[in-house]
Amino acid sequence: MTRSEIREQALRFLYQLAVQSGDPSQQEERFLSYNDFTEADLEFFHTLVEGVTTHAEALDQEIAQALVDWKFDRLPLIDQNILRMAWFEIKYSKDVPAAVAISEAVQLAKLYSDEGAHSYINAVLGSLYRQHEGQE
């Protein structure tokens, strides 16, 4: 799989975790049984999923600060997860350029979100990135 395809699968799984109750490890086992991941694919998939779930609270707070006239918890769940995953990659993955993470998020929003979501996702991530770069 390409990294784009793995990101899409990670997003789908993160969304599943958000809408379904139950044991996350059982959900993951079942989810993975429907996909054909190589060992390298699984490594990237787990990096994204575990990174987003581990840092979700901090990611959410930082994303919420970049939203203009909107609250994070009012965003659609799919948009929340797209923003979390991209912001996680920008902030914590040194091998993924910010422009790639933002572009991938925009593409996922075009596939899975409402019509105009990709625009505000692009703007929010761009704002977060500029703030983050100013702190380093």
For every residue of 76-113, DSSP letters joined together read -HHHHHHHHHHHHHHHH-TTS-HHHHHHHHHHHHHHHS
Non-local (6+) Cβ contacts of 79 within 8 A are 109, 113, 117, 121
> What average pLDDT does the segment 80-103 reach?
96
> What average pLDDT does the segment 45-63 reach?
97
> What confidence tier does 135 reach under pLDDT thresholds 50, 70, 90?
low
CA torsion through residues 8, 9, 11, 15, sign? positive
| pLDDT above 90 (res 68) | no
Is residue 128 within 8 A of residue 62, CB to CB? The reply is yes
**CA 10/CA 96 separation, integer angstroms:** 16
| pLDDT above 60 (res 45) | yes
| pLDDT above 60 (res 136) | no
131 versus 126: the higher-pLDDT residue is: 126
> What average pLDDT does the segment 32-49 reach?
94
Question: What per-residue confidence (pLDDT) applies to 69?
Answer: 85
